[in-house]
Amino acid sequence: MTMEKFVGSYKHDRDENLEEFFEKIGMNTMMRKMAVRSKPTMEVKVEGDEWTITTATIMKNVVSKFRLNEEVEVEAVKGKAKVVFTVEGNELIQKPSSRSEEQSRAMSVRTFTADGMIQMFKHIPSDTVAYRYFTRA
């Protein structure tokens, strides 16, 4: 899959097991309830070797800029986390660069299709998995 296949705007469709995942990563009850009710949009841009993912919700917008295979600091539930993004086929994988950091105990895999994107979240210590489904906007 070429990089252009990742590029686009995505609209939230539905979730699976998201509240349990948020609980496992330590999100407080009020924030968890608000996050589960949010209907985020996501925009993926690739310019040269720099990627930008903008996730917009009513609560806040989060912008992640990165280059593949390089450690970068991104906004996480409990502050900043150091992660590395890689691509395998039609998947954009975000893994913690150090499993010893408390805030980096989760990973994400975004699987891109012709119709949209599925974002899988995994809490590494408990193997709790959640999904967020998006359609192309």
Per-residue pLDDT tens for 69-92? 999 999 876 678 889 999 999 999
Whole-number Å distance between alpha carbons of 6 and 60: 23
Per-residue pLDDT tens digits of the chain, which is 137 residues long: 466 789 999 999 999 999 999 999 888 899 888 888 989 999 999 999 999 999 998 878 999 999 999 999 998 766 788 899 999 999 999 998 865 455 558 899 999 998 999 999 999 989 999 999 999 99
The single-letter code of the amino acid at 94 is: Q
- Residue type at 71? E
Judge whether 83 and 75 are in contact, CB under 8 Å. no
Backbone angles phi, psi at 110, to 5 degrees: -100, 120
pTM for the full predicted model? 0.90
Q: Can you list the pairs that 32-39 forms with residues at least 24 positions away whose Cβ atoms lie under 8 Å?
A: 34/59, 35/59, 38/12, 39/11, 39/12
Per-residue model confidence as pLDDT tens digits over 54-75: 999 887 899 999 999 999 999 8
Domains of the chain: 3-136 (2.40.128.20)
